[in-house]
Amino acid sequence: MSPVASNLQIDSARLWDTIHETAKFGATPKGGVRRLTLGPEDKQVRDWFRKSCEAAGLEVHVDTLGSMFALRKGRDMSKPPIGLGSHLDTQPTGGKFDGVLGTLAALEVVRTLNDAGIETEMPICIVNWTNEEGSRFAPAMMASAAYVGDFTTDDILSRRDAEGVTVGEALDSIGYRGEKPVGTQKFSNFVELHIEQGPILEAEGKTIGVVDSGQGVLWYDGKITGFESHAGSTPMPLRRDALATLSEIVLAMESIAKKRGPNAVGTIGEAVIAKPSRNVIPGEIAFTMDCRSSDAAIMAALDKDLRAAISEIAARRKVEVALDLVWHKPPTHFDAKLVDAVEHAAKALGYSHRRITSGAGHDACNLNTIMPTAMVFVPCKDGVSHNELEDATQADCTAGANVLMHTVLALAGVAS
Amino acid sequence: MSPVASNLQIDSARLWDTIHETAKFGATPKGGVRRLTLGPEDKQVRDWFRKSCEAAGLEVHVDTLGSMFALRKGRDMSKPPIGLGSHLDTQPTGGKFDGVLGTLAALEVVRTLNDAGIETEMPICIVNWTNEEGSRFAPAMMASAAYVGDFTTDDILSRRDAEGVTVGEALDSIGYRGEKPVGTQKFSNFVELHIEQGPILEAEGKTIGVVDSGQGVLWYDGKITGFESHAGSTPMPLRRDALATLSEIVLAMESIAKKRGPNAVGTIGEAVIAKPSRNVIPGEIAFTMDCRSSDAAIMAALDKDLRAAISEIAARRKVEVALDLVWHKPPTHFDAKLVDAVEHAAKALGYSHRRITSGAGHDACNLNTIMPTAMVFVPCKDGVSHNELEDATQADCTAGANVLMHTVLALAGVAS
């Protein structure tokens, strides 16, 4: 850490005010935020963000998928900037912090550097990535995925929401289809601050999560075909009950994930009985399954164990179970040097901290496939996110922003 | 059995043709029948039924809930008739036999007696009960429930279907709001022939089910309140998963019903996750549970065991489970003398038979609360009912009609 910056702290009250200022764009009666990507509330927060960045002396440009880049010049403009930021869109009934904290803490870092008159060696660039949430348009983390080349821009522009509106039309409707081709703005590294969206830091009383990995994801679509029959007249031994089959699968998955833990989770989040009726034994159920681990070998073991358990259950119950793998995302291993930089900043600032795996996906996981990337986590209340009850303390948000700032300063260097 | 009648057999081909003739009223492309109570197809079959009964010399009258009574005079008109029949309405995607067999076999019995020139001592009366199925108007077995005094006629007349049409309006719209107050037509006894709607007779290769009891029913509405959280970032030990809780409840219910078996069944037919999402741990699930036994002591034990199991599961998983008993129907024990009469007829006719419990509810279960009642079952293919695939053989339907006829003859007596 540069001596000139070692005591530098962001303005906690200003960060907190800014977070609550943007929470009015799409505020819900229950204290949450509904700011679907590329909708009118997203336009409001984007206009506010552009104005605020320009007021802080940043040069704002927008790419053809609407991602916003706000550049602060460095002494040495021959190098690509250090990227920092997150996203400003929310879930349909989201909270004030998911994405917002990382984007506005980046703005606060710049404001703090401005106030202190600090010039960095390398430029820095705040990003607001379009459609991280994926609630209106699929996939989630859409713009960063296109940025790293997982999708073409044209493919993404043609994706439609539930009303049939394309991404391209939505961008035009709010005036955020930018000029710059996706990928034009290069970065040296990228650092994203985010709330944990899980309960670990809070449970362990730690302020900073030094994120060293992101979980890989296995998404399955499943279908159980048993036999629909009368609840009263079908004896227990003659049943081929799809719900009892699902129940065994849920508990087998839970037990397998626990056995492969702590670095493994498994969830059945959707289960729909085909023709539900109080007095009919369920004959058909469609379900989804989500399994994650930051260890590729554990992911392979989860898949193998699950398939074996499901085969045994299906054969014993004389039902058919189809299980299709619909998405396989390998684990993310963040850049060791950047992870060390985050850890060093947390330590130097005196914050309690621990290494942690990100359970959720983030734009940073995409970016890590083409550039050194790291993330900083702060606790959120009860681990709740994607919910109007999402909450985080001012002290933790401040700590996260300080770690972000000192990580960026360590990477960008302070011009002497 | 009266010697004069001992060799009498119904006309198998005529019964079979009649069943298939009525199956055209509401025929579905897949070979089933859609004949919702008091709809246009129900009017068609009712008009056909009235005409056919009148052609067989019966006097038809209709009560104020639309139930149709077709009286064949006996030698001794001082006694109330022996009732026989069932219902002609079907499920939305029902089959050709449920209810139809019992009603048309009753008509076939009368036709056979006519052809043989047999006069019974006591009169006999065929009934087509309105709305046995309960698919359009609740409750099921509506007219027989009103007949035995469980509901007032006015209450039933004001019940509405999903479109807001009342029973009274529906009766008027097809011209079947009759003159006779409900309950006017008295009976000495009642015998109902029906397909089993379960797999037992078929599995055991028996032709006739001598129904000695009907299961009592416990209907519960349940709600599990766990905690909705992120599928990726919530470690397995910190979850309060509503679906994993439901899974344990399903398997506990299954195991309890098996333990209390063979005379007990338990089914969870409906289970709805509140805000299902592939990557969210289910936080809330509403479900229904249906438990049955023909033994009141076993019903009480099921209730007790289930509540104990659910309490233990809920406490261990730190979730809340509410379980409300919404319906408690005690078991039916059919009249011993009538059950013996059915068994005697089956035996005398040389049909393989066994005593059986009705898993489903029937108008006969209501009638049994105020008069001696019995039922005759015949096998149905794979135990399937309430389904367009519902099927039964001509031989089994014929056997059932013969048992019905000889039971009725034994009860009514043959005039000498």
pLDDT at B12 over 60: yes
- In B331-360, the residues whose Cβ lies within 8 Å of chain A are 358-360
Please name which of B299, B242, B302, B319 lies closest in space to residue B274, comparing C-alpha atoms.
Answer: B242
Residue B5, pLDDT score: 56
pLDDT at B374 over 90: yes
Residue A5, pLDDT score: 56
pLDDT mean across residues, chain B: 95
Contact (CB<8Å) B386/A360: no
- Residues B247-306 have pLDDT tens digits of 999 999 999 999 998 889 999 999 999 989 888 899 999 999 999 999 999 999 999 999
> With an 8 Å Cβ cutoff, is B274 touching chain A?
no
H-run or E-run covering B190: strand B189-195
Contact (CB<8Å) B271/A276: yes
Angle between helix A242-259 and helix A296-317 axes, rounded to 10 deg:
150
Kindly report the three-state secondary structure assignment for every residue of chain A: CCHHHCCCCCCHHHHHHHHHHHCCCCECCCCCECCCCCCHHHHHHHHHHHHHHHHCCCEEEEECCCCEEEEECCCCCCCCCEEEEECCCCCCCECCCCCHHHHHHHHHHHHHHHHHCCCECCCEEEEECCCCCCCCCCCCCHHHHHHCCCCCHHHHHCCECCCCCEHHHHHHHHCCCCCECCCCCCCCEEEEEEECCCCHHHHHCCCEEEEEEECEEEEEEEEEECCCEECCCCCHHHCCCHHHHHHHHHHHHHHHHHHCCCCCEEEEEEEEECCCCCCEECCEEEEEEEEEECCHHHHHHHHHHHHHHHHHHHHHHCCEEEEEEEEEECCEECCHHHHHHHHHHHHHCCCCEEEEEECCCCHHHHHCCCCCEEEEEECCHHHCCCCCCCCCCHHHHHHHHHHHHHHHHHHHCECC
Q: Which of B190-199, B348-357, B380-389 has the lowest mean pLDDT?
A: B380-389
| Number of Cβ pairs < 8 A linking chain A and chain B | 205
Q: Is position B386 annotated in a ligand binding site? A: yes
- Residues A301-321 have pLDDT tens digits of 999 999 999 999 999 999 999
Interface test with A, best of B211, B217, B219, B229 (most A CBs within 10 A): B229
Q: Is position B196 annotated in a ligand binding site? A: no
> With an 8 Å Cβ cutoff, is A81 touching chain B?
no
Phi, psi dihedral angles at B264 (to 5 degrees): -160, 140
Residue B135, pLDDT score: 86
Contacts of A125 (CB under 8 A, 6+ apart): A69, A70, A71, A72, A81, A82, A83, A84, A85, A185, A187
- Residues A155-178 have pLDDT tens digits of 999 999 989 999 999 999 999 999
Contacts of A76 (CB under 8 A, 6+ apart): A121, A122
Contacts of B129 (CB under 8 A, 6+ apart): B67, B85, B86, B87, B141, B143, B144, B147, B363
CA gap B410, B2 in Å, rounded: 7
Residue A386, pLDDT score: 85
Q: Which residues of B touch A263 (CB under 8 A)?
A: none
Contact (CB<8Å) B272/A267: no
Q: Which residues of A touch B277 (CB under 8 A)?
A: 269-270
> With an 8 Å Cβ cutoff, is B257 touching chain A?
yes
Phi, psi dihedral angles at B42 (to 5 degrees): -65, -40
* Tokens of residue B13, six digits: 């081909």
> With an 8 Å Cβ cutoff, is A391 touching chain B?
no
Contact (CB<8Å) A231/B292: yes
> With an 8 Å Cβ cutoff, is A234 touching chain B?
yes
- Residues B36-77 have pLDDT tens digits of 999 999 999 999 999 999 999 999 999 999 999 999 999 999
Beta strands in B54-181 (DSSP E): 59-62, 68-72, 82-86, 124-128
pLDDT at A121 over 90: yes
Integer CA distances (angstroms), A33 to A30, B137, B165, B394, in order: 9, 43, 42, 65
Q: Which residues of A touch B194 (CB under 8 A)?
A: none
Contact (CB<8Å) B244/A235: no
- Side-chain-side CA neighbours of B335 within 13 Å: the count stands at 21
Q: To 5 degrees, how large is the angle CA A10–CA A11–CA A14?
A: 135
Please name which of A288, A287, A278, A274 lies closest in space to residue A227, comparing C-alpha atoms.
Answer: A274
- Side-chain-side CA neighbours of B205 within 13 Å: the count stands at 0
Which of the four pLDDT bands, split at 50, 70 and 90, describes residue B1?
Answer: very low
Q: Higher confidence at residue B395 or residue A7?
A: B395
Please name which of A104, A91, A133, A95 lies closest in space to residue A45, comparing C-alpha atoms.
Answer: A104
Q: Is position B21 annotated in a ligand binding site? A: no
Q: Which residues of B touch A359 (CB under 8 A)?
A: 230-234
Interface test with B, best of A135, A236, A248, A294 (most B CBs within 10 A): A236
CA gap A112, B285 in Å, rounded: 48
> With an 8 Å Cβ cutoff, is A273 touching chain B?
yes
Please name which of B347, B343, B348, B329 lies closest in space to residue B375, comparing C-alpha atoms.
Answer: B343
Please name which of A126, A122, A129 lies closest in space to residue A81, comparing C-alpha atoms.
Answer: A122
Q: Is position B194 annotated in a ligand binding site? A: yes
Q: Which residue of B has its CA nearest to A197?
A: B233
Contact (CB<8Å) A232/B278: no
Contact (CB<8Å) A281/B269: yes
> With an 8 Å Cβ cutoff, is B117 touching chain A?
no
Q: Report the pLDDT averaged over residues B232-256.
A: 96
**Which amino acid belongs to residue A216?**
G
Contact (CB<8Å) B277/A258: no
The arrangement of strands across the sheet holding B320-329 comes to B265-273, B284-293, B216-225, B320-329
Q: Report the pLDDT averaged over residues A360-384.
A: 96
> With an 8 Å Cβ cutoff, is B232 touching chain A?
yes
CA gap A226, B406 in Å, rounded: 40
* Tokens of residue A183, six digits: 């990928």
Q: Which residues of B touch A272 (CB under 8 A)?
A: 276
Which of the four pLDDT bands, split at 50, 70 and 90, describes residue B386?
Answer: confident
Contact (CB<8Å) B233/A272: no
> With an 8 Å Cβ cutoff, is B326 touching chain A?
no
pLDDT at A100 over 60: yes
From B159's Cα to the closest Cα of chain A, the distance in A is: 20
H-run or E-run covering B298: helix B296-317
Contact (CB<8Å) A290/B269: no
Q: Which residue of B has its CA nearest to A326?
A: B278
- Residues A72-81 have pLDDT tens digits of 999 999 999 9
Residue A1, pLDDT score: 43
**Are the C-beta atoms of residues B274 and B284 closer than 8 Å to each other?**
yes
Interface test with A, best of B215, B267, B299 (most A CBs within 10 A): B267
> With an 8 Å Cβ cutoff, is B204 touching chain A?
no
**Are the C-beta atoms of residues B373 and B85 closer than 8 Å to each other?**
no
Q: Which residues of A touch B134 (CB under 8 A)?
A: none
- Residues A246-296 have pLDDT tens digits of 999 999 999 999 999 888 999 999 999 998 988 889 999 999 999 999 999
> With an 8 Å Cβ cutoff, is A236 touching chain B?
yes
From A292's Cα to the closest Cα of chain B, the distance in A is: 7
Q: Which domains does chain B have, with CATH numbers?
A: 3-214+332-412 (3.40.630.10), 216-329 (3.30.70.360)
Contact (CB<8Å) B228/A387: yes
Interface test with B, best of A227, A278, A365 (most B CBs within 10 A): A278
Q: Report the pLDDT averaged over residues A97-121.
A: 97
> With an 8 Å Cβ cutoff, is A66 touching chain B?
no
Q: Which residues of B touch A282 (CB under 8 A)?
A: 268-269
Q: Report the pLDDT averaged over residues B361-387.
A: 95
Residue A157, pLDDT score: 98
Q: Higher confidence at residue B268 or residue B386?
A: B268
